[in-house]
Structure 1
Amino acid sequence: MTVGLALAGAPFPYRANSLNLFRLILAAMVLFAHSFYIVGEGEGPKIQGENLGGWAVAGFFVLSGFLITRSRLRTAPGEYLLHRIARIFPGFLVCLIVTSFVFAPIAALIEHGTLAGFMSTPITPLQYVWSNLTLYIDSYTIGTTLESVPYPGVWNGSLWTLFYEFLCYMLVWLLGGIALFRRNGWMAGAVFVLSLFVWIGASLAERWGLDASFLLFAKLAPFFLGGALVFFIVERSGINAIVAVFSLTIAVVLIVAVPRWGGQASAPFLAYGLLWLSSVVPQPRWVARNDVSYGFYIYAWPMQQIAVLLGAAALGLPVYILIAAVMTFVLAWLSWVVVEHRAMEWARPRAGRLRPTPVGP
């Protein structure tokens, strides 16, 4: 009893944390990691065969699992779905359209000096938008654009994770309809453990005819469900600094020392540690009011490709990364102000409009 009381912590400060800042840092890590691919400098730093961008996505998923589970348990099923659609789809669809009809024409003019055949050469701009509407990225190319860059043809190599995040949203939506899940964190723990075993035994999926799409979901779901489990722990016991430091230590050990599934096993510990950090590390007021991390994530890759076409890569990798980051930040801010925030304002009741639930990749 004494130990339990000693390990109990303060309630998580839902309205006074730095999660916006942490997600922006994670999005910047993705940009950094992808820069090596995009300029043709290899794969960049790795941990257990996964580049830093992959680990940043894991961080996004554990935080998203925590926040989305809270959203599901505080809202009606239909309201939850509306919020999730409003948060992820408008910004995504605008990104597809802007990529097709702004970025791609600019690339065509830089590379070919003309827009002749731009609208009719497969994959056409309209087909790029249409084939990717469902979040499942089926087309990466637009016509003959991006033929001259080190990573040719790919207009956005980051968007693929959004499909799997939305699948996790749907999984939590279903789980949230089960009374046992809503009342008891033990079921959340059992679901997390089950997802971990599914990933550990993922080689069986290939024998049973399941494709790479299932394997990607099996890879990412434990991170999300680890965050969901931590929601129940934090709601019951709060955040404790000693437990958080211990959790971060365990997470690092699992990630570094255990090949293939150590990262997934670390998910609850990683979630708890990141949440504690977000409760003690301050963030600028501007970042607190403007959640630009989602826009930064979805616009980083196309901005990086445009920066290559404009010759920024020739200035060296550090300068290139800085230029691409500034370009991306401008688009991210516009996406937040013009699209994302307005969509959430429309979807949420007036009483809940101050702090939209964030989204990760």
Structure 2
Amino acid sequence: MGRYFWHRALRIFPGLWVCLIVTALVVAPLVSMRERGGLAGFWDHPAGPFDYIRANWWTGVRQYGISGLFETTTPWGVKTKSSVFDGALWSLAYEMLCYIGVAALAFTGVFSHARRFVLVLTLWAYVYIWNDYLQSSGWSGPLSGGSSTTFDLPLVGELSAHYIIYLSFLFLLGTAAELYRERVPINDVLGILSAVALGITLLFGGFFVVGLPAYAYLLLWLAVRLPQWFHRVGSKNDYSYGIYIYGFVAQQVLASYHVGRWGFAAYAGLSVVCAFACAFLSWHLVEKQALKLKHWQPAFPTGKHNIGRDHLGRGEAEPGPRPQGTPVMASTAAAMGRAERRETSEKELS
């Protein structure tokens, strides 16, 4: 258990912390100098840079803006009448909750002795989502008419029960596919249909009820059917997390320079280039270095269930027998989320 959480912490927090510091103490001052001609009122603002770092330190985003910047210079700021630097971080707290949920299922022996319980949880979440759509005013939402139960977690802040269920559904789909991998058919017709269904729901609505399951199957199908050289992507250098945490910041900076006037293609292309450049530096200077500590861990108490040798640490457990003729869907969970793919990167560093 301790080893699992230690690896997750090494993968998430160092990159996040450096991103917060760089955003607040490097990017934001430069933005202030451009927007306001100096730093007057920047450091002592009620929602200043140090408040931004402190509020968002533990994955929950409790302060999106810094010193009122970007409120009038970006389309997002004008539309929401707010200062936002890294809006993409909103989902990170939910991801951490999903990691905790997976650990709880493994620790209680569900994966090894009661895997049908995962199917029950997955079905319950799907029924909940369908009920949401049936009660909403349109096929594209909003969820339950826009209402949602929220609660506060220490250090993290306010979370939505709706989003916990919706985002956990994808984690549960990946977990169920891994537990029942010998029964998941890899069919080219189903793969193509899932891609079509995903595209239609993104354009016309119904993404969560139809698009999410289609997306899940599409990832599994691609993981098996793509050429072998695709499997090397991210095996040694995993830039996905850096793109996630820096992409929105790059887009906001470019938007403040009105790059959007050059057209969507130019704006999107420059956003990708800037995000990848930040991700490259983040991986090689921060994330990769932090993962070198993965073999050291605090003295966590050990229990009967060793997650490192259960479904959460499959790379170091002795592989079990697979049924004859079953396609080897290596890293099924990787196709469903970043957790397993990050574990692969960690192994390459050992």
* TM-score, scaled to structure 1: 0.68
Kindly indicate whether residue 149 of structure 2 is the aligned counterpart of residue 210 of structure 1. yes
In structure 1, what is the equivalent of residue 124 of structure 2? 194
CA drift of 1:277 comes to 3.9
Distance 1:134 1:193 in 2: 31
Identity %: 29
Choose which of 198, 216, 236 in structure 2 pairs with 1:289: 236
Contact 1:164 1:217 (C-alpha < 8 Å) held by counterparts: yes
1:174 corresponds to which residue? Answer: 104
Tell me the residue number matched to 1:146: 70
Write out per-residue CA displacement over residues 97-123 of structure 1, whole angstroms, 9 at most, x where no aligned residue.
Answer: 111011111110111110112111121
Contact between 1:146 and 1:154, CA under 8 Å: does it hold in 2? yes
Counterpart secondary structure, 2:68: coil
What 5-or-longer segments of structure 1 have no aligned partner?
Answer: 1-76
- In the alignment, structure 2 segments of 5+ residues that lack a partner are 78-82, 136-142, 151-158, 298-314, 317-340, 346-350
- CA drift at 1:187: 2.6
Residue of structure 1 equivalent to 2:287? 340
Aligned-residue RMSD, C-alpha: 3.1
1:246 aligns with 190
| Partner Cα separation in structure 2 for residue 78 and residue 245 of structure 1 | 42
Letter matched to residue 182 of structure 1: S
Are 1:272 and 2:272 an aligned pair? no
Cα shift at 1:285: 5.9
CA distance in 1, matches of 2:147, 2:259: 46
8 A Cα contact 1:123 1:141, kept in partner:
yes
Contact 1:244 1:276 (8 Å CA) reproduced: no
Cα 1:327–1:284 change in 2 (3 A) is farther
Matched residue, 1:16: none
Alpha-carbon separation, structure 2, partners of 1:316 and 1:83 = 41
Q: Whole-Å Cα distance in 2 between the matches of residues 206 and 305 of structure 1?
A: 30
In structure 2, relative to structure 1, the CA distance for the partners of 1:337 and 1:141 (3 Å cut) is same
Q: Distance in 2 between matches of 1:226 and 1:86?
A: 25
Q: 1:150 to 1:208 in 2, by over 3 A?
A: closer
| Alpha-carbon distance between aligned partners in 1 of 2:248 and 2:172, rounded to the nearest angstrom | 27
Equivalent pair of 1:248/1:269 in contact (CA under 8 Å): no
Query: How far off is 1:265 after superposition?
Result: 4.1
Which stretches of structure 1, 4 residues or more, deviate above 6 A after TM superposition?
203-209, 349-352
| Offset at residue 189 of structure 1 (A) | 1.7
In 2, Cα distance between equivalents of 1:274 and 1:190: 26
Identify, as 1 or 2, the structure richer in helix: 1
1:227–1:271: 8 Å Cα contact kept in structure 2? no
Q: Is the 8 A contact 1:219 1:264 kept in 2?
A: no
Specify which of 109, 115, 126 is matched with residue 33 of structure 2. 109
Higher relative contact order (CA 8 A, sep 6+): 1
Secondary structure, counterpart of 2:88 in structure 1: coil
**Using the alignment, how far apart are the partners of 2:122 and 2:233 within structure 1?**
35
Distance 1:297 1:199 in 2: 26
Match of 2:59 among 122, 132, 135: 135
Q: CA deviation at 1:331?
A: 0.5
Q: Which moved more, 1:338-347 or 1:190-199?
A: 190-199
Q: How many aligned positions are there?
A: 277
Deviation per residue, 1:142-168 (Å, 9 max, x gap): 002113222222101111111111111
User: Per the alignment, do residues 227 and 313 of structure 1 end up closer, same or farther by CA in structure 2, a change over 3 Å counting?
Assistant: same
**For residues 289-343 of structure 1, what are the alpha-carbon distances to aligned partners after superposition, in whole Å with 9 as ceiling and x for unaligned?**
2100110111011111112233422322211221221111110001111111112
**1:104 counterpart letter in structure 2:** A
Letter in 1 for 2:229: P
- Check the 8 A contact 1:293/1:332 in 2, yes or no: yes
* Range that drifts further, 283-292 or 99-108: 283-292
Report if aligned partners of 2:198, 2:215 keep a CA contact under 8 Å in 1: no
Alignment-derived partner of residue 334 in structure 2? none
Amino acid at match of 1:263: G
- 1:357 equivalent in structure 2: 343
1:338 to 1:90, Cα distance in 2 relative to 1, 3 A: same
Question: Does the Cα contact within 8 Å between 2:11 and 2:287 map onto a contact in 1?
Answer: yes
Alignment of 1:60-99 (within 5 A): 77-99=1-23
Larger deviation: 296-305 or 283-292? 283-292
1:59 corresponds to: none
Cα separation, 1, equivalents of 2:27 and 2:344: 26
